Amino acid sequence: MSGILDVFKEDPFSVVALTDAVNEVEFIPGIAGREVDWQESGISKTTIAIERKGESLVIVDPSPRGSPGDAIAKPKRDIRSLNVPHYEVQSSVYADEIQGVRAFGSESDVETIAGKVAERMRELVQLSIDPTLEYQRVGAVKGVILNGDGSTLYDLFSEFGVSQETEIGFDVATDGSATGALRKKVNGAVRLIANNLKGAPYRGIKAFCGDTFYDALVTNAEVVKSYLNWTAAADLRGDTFGPYQAFPWGGVTWINYRGSNGATPFVDATKCHLFPVGVPGLFRTVYAPADYVETVNTNGLPRYARQYEMQNGKGIWLDVQANALNYCTRPKVLLKGKSSA
């Protein structure tokens, strides 16, 4: 095994090189990663302190121990500390897999083995780490971040004493084209989000919709009628209103969300979740450092990777991890809707 171990002591297999490589893997976070304006940053700690000011959550910057305080002291209130979750997955490269591949001192063969390692790391990232990040981000859009088993990691509403707005019943299954009932209900939701933003600028409103809600919405007579008799009527015959698409109506971009945790969809079939976009600092992602000796007190990166020998000497373990927390700094603006007759 010593000959095989020699290659894993080359520079391409160091923690730094493997971490750089795993962060070069194309990030495929899903719909929440694309449609929401995430402000990402690395932190050197494994927790963040958040202070509630009114209906907003504000990051508190630490000050050096023993340093003078602010000239104008302002009392802090409702400060909470949130631990950044640690997600780690493993794979392996066995000696038999690279038997006969490497010739001692051959750089090309080192590259071949490095390619095998990179392939395994991509699998870990794209099949485990990235979907986990997407799952957490959908939770942040809802205001309730869940663990993989469905238990609550953080309820942003109860955590900071902010009440969630009453769930809105959208009569998507009823023909209200004569009275504009559905449009009035959507207008009310848009106004509520704008009011809860307390004057903060925003670019628009989006909504993640479950399958049943979305199908009822796109076939609602009021919605269909608004697309008739003008150039956008062609959208009714095309893919715009199809499964897992998005279309604008009533000042909201409605998105049929696709994604599930096993058999459980990220967005319930009869529900929708509305949120504003273009609000500076509304949705945040923080990355904490990995739990390696080499990364202590360094600014966190999106992903980390390293390798180490199996105890039985038959191969190399590959370790890929992410230490990320996604959250909304103004959960009051997150609205939940349901389809109702």
Lowest mean pLDDT among 55-69, 115-129, 138-152, 227-241: 55-69
C-alpha triplet 51, 57, 61: angle, nearest 5°: 50
Q: Reduced to 3 states, what is the DSSP secondary structure of residue 148?
A: coil
Whether CATH 3.40.190 fits 2-61+78-152+286-326: no
**pLDDT for res 69:** 46
Strands (DSSP E) contained in the chain are 38-42, 47-53, 56-59, 79-83, 86-94, 144-146, 152-155, 168-170, 204-209, 246-249, 252-256, 260-261, 264-265, 271-277, 283-287, 304-309, 315-328, 335-339
Strands (DSSP E) contained in 221-291 are 246-249, 252-256, 260-261, 264-265, 271-277, 283-287
| Fold assignment, 168-281+332-339 | capsid protein of prophage fold (3.30.1930)
> What's the mean pLDDT in 248-254?
95
**pLDDT for res 109:** 58
Every domain of the chain and the residues it spans: 2-61+78-152+286-326, 168-281+332-339
Q: What is the mean pLDDT of the chain?
A: 82
